Amino acid sequence: MASKVIHAFYDDDDVLMLAVKRVKAAKLHIEEVYCPFPVHGLDKAMGLAPTRIAITSFLYGCVGLVVSVVMMNYIMIDDWPQDIGGKPSFSYIENMPAFVPIMFELTVFFAAHLMVITFYLRSRLWPFKEAENPDVRTTDDHFLMEIEIHDNEQELKDLLMDTGAVEINVTEKNSH
């Protein structure tokens, strides 16, 4: 469904923050904000839910730990318990200190890589992905706030102009 959106441009992150707070106070839904760099506190001002990526990372780390323990218990203790330089391979716990470096590294490896991949999937990022920025200036020195229009175009324009927008465009929303 094609719908019209309003694009308000700002050239300062402090002005943007105030504008976001004004728009939220007016009970309007902000579709998206495009910034050239992370603006501290913007997610809070927009009321975005906190990320849960740290929790996924913890769980991936647990998986990595289990993988390393199962792998080395199978290889070194169950499958072929050879005497290598007098290391006790009668049970996992007896030879555990020698496995700790691998347990640690695999925990970190799983936690880091799977978390990064999760991040790419959730933020829809991949090598040949088509860029989504509505205006090239948003990667350089402009901030853009996108709000959907529901028969309130003039009202919205006035509000956004009042918040210090340097430019306001009305466009058809490109569905990605």
What minimum distance in Å lies between the beta carbon of 97 and another protein?
5
Q: Scanning residues 13 to 32, which ones bind another protein (CB under 8 A)?
A: none
What minimum distance in Å lies between the beta carbon of 101 and another protein?
8
163 CB neighbour count, 10 Å cutoff: 19
Q: How far is CA 18 from CA 11, 21, 110, 158, in A?
A: 13, 5, 40, 15
What minimum distance in Å lies between the beta carbon of 87 and another protein?
8
**DSSP string computed for 82-102:** --STT---SSTGGGHHHHHHH
Residue 39 as a binder of another protein (CB under 8 A): the answer is no
Q: Scanning residues 109 to 128, which ones bind another protein (CB under 8 A)?
A: none
Residue 97 as a binder of another protein (CB under 8 A): the answer is yes
Name which position in 14, 21, 58, 161 contacts another protein (CB under 8 A): 58
Q: Any alpha helices (H) in the chain, and if so which ranges?
A: 13-25, 42-46, 53-72, 96-122, 153-162
Kindly indicate which of the ranges 94-102, 105-113, 128-136, 161-169 contains the residues binding another protein, using the contact rule CB under 8 A: 94-102
